[in-house]
Structure 1
Amino acid sequence: MSLTLPIVIGAILGLGVYALVRALVPSKSGAVATVARIDAMRARGALYESPGRVVSQEADSGRLGSLRAGIGVRVADLYRQQGWEQRSLRADLNVLERSWENFLATKILLGTVGLFFGPFLFAIVWTLGIGSGAVIPLWMALVCGAVFFFLPDLEVRRDAADKRRDLRRVIGAYLDLVAMNLAGGRGLPEALMAAAEVSDGWALRRIRNTLADARITGTSQWQALGMLGEELGVEELKDLASALGLVAEDGAKVRESLASRAETMRHREMAEIEGSAGEKSQSMLVAQLLLCAGFLVFLIFPAAVRVFQGA
C-alpha cells in the first residue's frame, strides 16, 4: 500500500503535465484540422465561431495579453482537433458576446492558479498546527485546480441565462411590433427590419445586424433568424423562423402567427415571474421559521440546563 500510493500520485501528475504540454505546445496540424480551421475562419461570427473576434474585440496588450491570446488559440485548436464542440457553452458565450479563445485561456490560467493555491492554502493551515502529511497538498492542488478550472463555466452559464431571459422578453415585444407593421401594409422583410430599428438595445441590435447580413448574403430573413437562434441557443427564434418559412407568403397568416406567439410568450413570462415570486415567498417563510426556532431554543435552553443540572 505504501508503494502503490506514490505510483498512483506520480501517474496522475504525469498525466496532468502531459495534458498541459499538449494543450500549450502547438502540434503539427493535419489535413482535417486545417480544413476545419479554414471553415471556421469563413464562418466567423456564425454558428460555431465566437462573435467576440468580430463584435467585441477585447483589447489585450502587453506580455500577459499576448500569452493569454496564444494559450487561447492553441487550446481552441486542440478542442477543434479532438472534435470537442461544446455547443451549449459556445452558445452561452455568443449570447454574452465573449470570445471562445479568451474563455479557454481564462480556464487554463485559473486552473494553473488553483494548482498553486491548494498547496499554499495547506501551508497556511499547516502553520496553525492543523493537518499533516505529504499527500494532502497534492490532493488539495488537484481539487483546487479542478474547481478553478470550472468556475468560468458556472459564471458564463449564470450570466447567459439572465441575458437569455431578457432576450425572450424583447422577442415578445418584437413580434408585436412586426405584427403592427404588417397590419400597416408593409411586407414581411420590411416589417422585420422596421421593428428591429425601434431601439438600440443589444437584443434588437443583434436581430437588426442579422437581418442586414441576410440582405447582403441573399439569405431569407427568417432563415437568418433561425441561424441566430441556433447560435444563441434560443428556441423561440428557431420556432419563429420555422413558422415564418411556412406562412411567409400569406400576410394574414403571418400576423396571426406572430400575435399568437407573442401572447404565448407573455403568458409564459408571467408564469415564470409568478413561479419565481412563489419560490422567494417560500424561502422567506423558511427563514422566518428558522428564526422563530432559534428564538425558542434561546428561551428554552437556560431553563433546560437548570432542570438537568438539578436532576
Structure 2
Amino acid sequence: MTMILLAGAVVGVGVLLLGVMLSTQRVNPAAALARLDAERSRARREQLVNSSAGVSTLAGESASMRRLGGQLRGSLEGIGLDLGSIRRDLSLLGRTLEGHLATTVLCALGGFLMPVVLAAILSFADVGFSLPASAVLGLFLALIFGLIPTLTARSSAADRRRDFRHVVGSFLDLVAMNLSGGRGVPEALQAASSLSDGWAMVRIRDTLLTARLHGVTPWAALGELGDEVGVDELRDLAAALALVAEDGAKVRESLSARAGSLRRRELAEVEGKAGQRSQSMLVAQLVLCVGFLLFLVYPALIGVLDQS
C-alpha cells in the first residue's frame, strides 16, 4: 500500500510538472515592459552597490541554484510579494536573493522528506508508523526548516547593520573634518573612506570608486548604498552632501551634529541592552534562590508529612 501511494505521488508530481511546462502563458506587453525596466534599474543598482560588498556574492551558489532562485523570485514578484526587506539584509551580508530562495526551498524540501522517508523505511521493517501522520509531520518540519535561513539571515544582518551605523558615525566626523579643511565633496569622501580597512568602510570606499567609474555622483551612490543595505544614515548623508554640491550649503556643523546624535543613540541602545541583561541575571538569581530554599525545606516537609 505504501509503494502504491508513493508511486501515485511521483506520477502526480510528474503530470503537474508536465502541465506547467506545456502551459502557455499570455504576456501583457505593458507588464513585460515594466518588468524589463525594473530589471534594468535593479541590475544597475546591484552593479553599483554589490560590487563593493567585499565578498563574492556567488560564492557557494551553483548555476542551477541561481536559476531556481531566479524562477522563484520572478514568481513571488509576479504575485506582488514584496521582498525588499530580505533583499536589504542579504545585500548587507553579501549574498544574492536567488541563492537565498533556493536554499530556503531546499531546506523546506529536506524537512518534508525526513519523516516521509523514515516512515517508508519503518514500513519495510513492519514498524507501525502511518504515512499520513508522517506527511503532516513533514509539512510542519518543512515550515520550520524553511524559516531557518531567513531568521538566520535577519539576525546576522541586524548585527552587521549595527556595526555599519557605528562606522557611518565615524565617517560623518571624518567627512566634516575634510570639508572644514577646504576640500571638495568628492575629495572629502574619498579621503575619509581611505582611513580604515574595516569591512564597512571598505564597502563605502569601493562604492565611491565604482560610482566614479560609472559616472555617478558620489552622494547619489551613497544614497543607493543606504537604500540597498537599509541604513538611513547613509541616505541622510547623501541628501546633505547633495545640498553642498548643488546649493553650496555649509553642512559641516550639521554633519558633526548628526555624528554626535548617532553616537548618543548607539550609547542609549547599549545601555538599554545592558539593563535588559541585568534584569535577566536578576531573574536567574531569584530562580536559584527559590530552588535552594525548596532544597532546604523539602526534607523537613517530608518528615512532617510522614509523621502525620
> Per the shorter chain, which TM-score range?
0.7 to 0.9
Identity %, equivalent residues:
45
Tell me, yes or no, if the aligned pair for 2:104 and 2:147 is still in contact at 8 Å.
yes
Determine the structure 1 residue equivalent to 2:182.
185
Q: Which runs of 5+ in 2 are unaligned?
A: 1-8
CA gap 1:141/1:26 in 2 versus in 1, 3 angstroms: farther
User: What's the TM-score once normalised by structure 1's chain length?
Assistant: 0.80
Determine the structure 1 residue equivalent to 2:281.
284
Tell me, yes or no, if the aligned pair for 1:33 and 1:81 is still in contact at 8 Å.
no
Say which SS state the counterpart of residue 183 (structure 2) adopts: coil
Q: Give the alignment of 1:143-154 within 5 angstroms.
A: 143-154=140-151
Offset, 1:78: 1.9
Q: Which runs of 5+ in 1 are unaligned?
A: 1-12
Determine the structure 2 residue equivalent to 1:90.
87
2: CA distance, partners of 1:49 / 1:84? 25
1: CA distance, partners of 2:122 / 2:268? 49
2: CA distance, partners of 1:25 / 1:285? 61
Tell me, yes or no, if the aligned pair for 1:52 and 1:97 is still in contact at 8 Å.
no
1: CA distance, partners of 2:47 / 2:300? 68
Q: Give the alignment of 1:203-242 within 5 angstroms.
A: 203-242=200-239
2: CA distance, partners of 1:81 / 1:95? 25
The one-letter code matched in structure 1 to 2:296 is: L
Tell me the matched-pair count.
Answer: 290
1:58 matches 2:55: no
Determine the structure 2 residue equivalent to 1:7.
none
Q: Write out per-residue CA displacement over residues 170-198 of structure 1, whole angstroms, 9 at most, x where no aligned residue.
A: 00000111111112111122101110111
RMSD: 3.6
2: CA distance, partners of 1:143 / 1:49? 40
The one-letter code matched in structure 2 to 1:46 is: R
CA gap 1:35/1:255 in 2 versus in 1, 3 angstroms: same
CA gap 1:87/1:27 in 2 versus in 1, 3 angstroms: farther
The one-letter code matched in structure 2 to 1:104 is: L
2: CA distance, partners of 1:259 / 1:122? 64
2: CA distance, partners of 1:121 / 1:301? 45
User: What's the TM-score once normalised by structure 2's chain length?
Assistant: 0.81
CA gap 1:261/1:121 in 2 versus in 1, 3 angstroms: farther
Offset, 1:210: 2.1
The one-letter code matched in structure 2 to 1:304 is: L
Determine the structure 2 residue equivalent to 1:77.
74
2: CA distance, partners of 1:174 / 1:245? 16
Q: Write out per-residue CA displacement over residues 129-184 of structure 1, whole angstroms, 9 at most, x where no aligned residue.
A: x9965542222111100111111110010000000000000000001111111121
